[in-house]
Amino acid sequence: MASTALLTDRYELTMLDAALRDGTAHRPAVFEVFSRRLSGGRRYGVLAGTGRLLEAVGRFRFGDAELAWLTEERVVAPATVDWLADYRFAGSISGYREGELYFPSSPVLTVEGSFAEAVVLETLILSVLNADSAIATAAARMVSAANGRPLAEMGSRRAHERAAVSAARAAWIAGFSATSNLEAGRRWGVPTMGTAAHAFTLLHDSEEAAFRAQIDAMGAGTTLLIDTYDVLPAVETAVRVAGTGLGAVRIDSGDLPVVVQAVRDRLDALGATGTTITVTNDLDEYAIAGLAASPVDSYGAGTRLVGGSGHPTAGFVYKLVERADPDGTMRPVAKKSAEKAGSGGRKWAFRLLRDGRATEEHVVVADVEPTVEQARALVVPLVTAGQVDPAHVGVAGVSTARDHHARVVAELPPEAMRLSGGDPALPTVLA
């Protein structure tokens, strides 16, 4: 079990060191994860990474190697090293279900424990939730633009090798149909797909030889890549080799609306009316929307989904919102600086619904969960007294998150699906 303890910023441990020295480290504290705004003019965000995070928190342990390095580098005092040797998160974590939608000020995660045990988790929490939620939000917009047509995640070669796995997981939760990444299939149960690249065609002495080799290996139901040379002659070759039962063709370049229509016309003229067309080529939600009227059957997205340049950050922050006074009384606290002001106090959130449609994000400051009529409670327990709820982790947790996301997206008003920049789809009301 690989430790996650050093996947953190130095100042987490130097804050801990100073708090242990002055006696404030063990004060009860409440930290909250939220985003002040939706980046890129987006109308909603999609929370992803929760299951990964809960597993990572379980591995947040300082073993001999980690403790030796901290000692050698003199990051913290020897007494703090001793404290870290026994670290186990024993507090509680609650938050939105993975796959849930979020809006500005939504309290997507709440961490409760001593200041010491909660503060050291900040960087780990934010690195997982910010990365996965950014991917899931971008993926959700692509799913919306595809309007029911399947999407495959194909971004492994555009990301860090481990980030590629988590990206495939996040895209699957947001509604993608499959991934090219085998480790995502093994680790998270995401369906995998893939056939051949241009290199396979170039390996052979002719395009026809390449197509024959692929069909011999995979059957006529395979997908043939037809734009290594000339697209329309390739269509004729593909049908000649595979017959009219050819499964699909893939197009990875060109003026897609024009090329797709020409390919569809040629396939139909050759009698391959059941052969489907999939397109790739650096697609994002805008390119997918631009193909809405074209005879495209499915899409593959990678670079613009996982590469970082195709989507803005989720913008989550981790802030102390409540802590104990010396007498044990819990006191709301919040940052007051301009443009980064927060709201103190432990919070609960609800989605107000009218006739099955979401109308408002209702956030309530309270020590215990209140009851809000005609609303869906958003905050659920994830970790209780250090014990993770198993329903939120593993392959089963991913499947549950995907199903939950599909349900909650269906609650949004139609205008939430617009790709143009604008206000959040739901207002957030703090009570």
pLDDT in tens, 322-332: 999 999 999 99
The answer to whether residue 301 scores a pLDDT higher than 80 is yes
| Distances, alpha carbon 357 to alpha carbons 52, 69, 274, 413, in Å | 30, 53, 38, 6
Q: What is the pTM of this model?
A: 0.94
Report how far residue 345's alpha carbon sits from residue 26's, in angstroms, rounded to the nearest whole number.
Answer: 19
The structural domains of the chain, with segments of one domain joined by +, span: 10-135+311-430, 194-306
pLDDT of residue 308: 60
Instruction: Give the 3-state secondary structure of residue 210.
Output: helix
The model's confidence at residue 340, banded by pLDDT at 50, 70 and 90, is low
The answer to whether residue 310 scores a pLDDT higher than 60 is no
Q: Which CATH architecture has domain 10-135+311-430?
A: Alpha-Beta Barrel (3.20)
Mean pLDDT of the 181-206 span: 97
pLDDT in tens, 218-274: 999 999 999 999 999 999 999 999 999 999 999 999 999 999 999 999 999 999 999
Mean pLDDT of the 103-123 span: 97
Q: What fold does the segment set 194-306 form as a domain?
A: TIM Barrel (3.20.20)
Report how far residue 207's alpha carbon sits from residue 394's, in angstroms, rounded to the nearest whole number.
Answer: 43
Residues 6+ apart with CB under 8 A from 339: none
Q: What is the mean pLDDT of the chain?
A: 95
Residue 270's Cβ-count burial label (10 Å; 0-12, 13-18, 19+) is middle
pLDDT in tens, 398-412: 999 999 999 999 999
Residues 6+ apart with CB under 8 A from 255: none
Report how far residue 40's alpha carbon sits from residue 313's, in angstroms, rounded to the nearest whole number.
Answer: 9
Adjacent-strand bridge partners of 234: none
Mean pLDDT of the 349-377 span: 92
Residues 6+ apart with CB under 8 A from 425: 43, 44, 103, 358, 412, 413, 415, 416
pLDDT in tens, 132-151: 999 999 999 999 999 999 99
The answer to whether residue 309 scores a pLDDT higher than 70 is no
pLDDT in tens, 13-57: 999 999 999 999 999 999 999 999 998 889 999 999 999 999 999
What's the token pair of residue 303? Answer: 């670079």
pLDDT of residue 339: 66
Report how far residue 223's alpha carbon sits from residue 90's, in angstroms, rounded to the nearest whole number.
Answer: 51
pLDDT of residue 142: 96
The answer to whether residue 381 scores a pLDDT higher than 60 is yes
Mean pLDDT of the 199-222 span: 98
